[in-house]
Amino acid sequence: MKVRSLMVVDDSMVFRNRIARLATDQRLAGVKVVALAENGMDAIEQAKLHKPDFVTMDLTMPVMDGPACLEALRTVLPEARVLVVSALSDRATALKAMTKGAHGFLLKPFSDEQLVDSLQELMV
């Protein structure tokens, strides 16, 4: 089975841990969490190091926010598929994330099932 590597980017430690834990759900066979990043700058460094296939990305973060990180990742990690996971829910925010390279959008707060479903869709 091909290992699908995932990087989780969120300034909330609790949410990083939660997403990482749910990503190893049995419905998501073969997913390995290779990096946890707490801001956009950290994510870029870890992306260069671990080259994850998939990324979950918060939008509101210190140091470097999600939209800026999405733009940078297009150069560093052009093949990665990105799921934005954010409490910012207006149409303009979602559209902006998509134009910057996101492949999906999951609104916080989310249930365990919603996250697993979104990751499944991202990894199809």
* Interface residues toward other proteins, by CB under 8 A: 12-15, 17-18, 21, 60, 86-90, 108-111, 114
Question: Where are the extended beta strands (E) located within the chain?
Answer: 4-9, 31-37, 54-57, 81-86, 104-107
The nearest distance, CB 11 to other proteins, in angstroms, is 8
Nearest residue (CB) to other proteins, 77 versus 118: 118
Nearest residue (CB) to other proteins, 51 versus 60: 60
Rounded to whole angstroms, the Cα distance separating 117 from 27 reads 9
Nearest residue (CB) to other proteins, 22 versus 47: 22
Nearest residue (CB) to other proteins, 50 versus 108: 108
Rounded to whole angstroms, the Cα distance separating 22 from 97 reads 23
The nearest distance, CB 85 to other proteins, in angstroms, is 12
Reported for 109-116, long-range contacts at CB under 8 A and 24+ positions apart, including other chains, are 110/85, 112/22, 112/25, 115/19, 115/22, 115/85, 116/22, 116/25, 116/27, 116/28
The nearest distance, CB 98 to other proteins, in angstroms, is 17
The nearest distance, CB 114 to other proteins, in angstroms, is 8
